[in-house]
Amino acid sequence: MKRTPRSTSPATISLVKPAPTRMARLRRWVRCCRSDAALYLLRGICYGLGTGLVGFSSYWLQQHL
């Protein structure tokens, strides 16, 4: 006796993946660029503090000279 497959249609496997959602893309971007973003944030804070310090010291010198 010959065995017959359960379904008569051939099995198809789809290799097409659904498009990632917006949150998935955002999570992937954050994971990829986290160290760069932290470095840019630190750099911006340093530039801001330096500019503020120079501005405050020049104002203080103008007032006391």
Residue spans of the chain under pLDDT 70: 1-2, 4-12
pTM: 0.54
- pLDDT for position 17: 82
Residue found under tokens 């992937």: 28
Question: How far apart are the C-alpha atoms of 51 and 30, rounded to whole Å?
Answer: 29
Amino acid symbol at 49: L
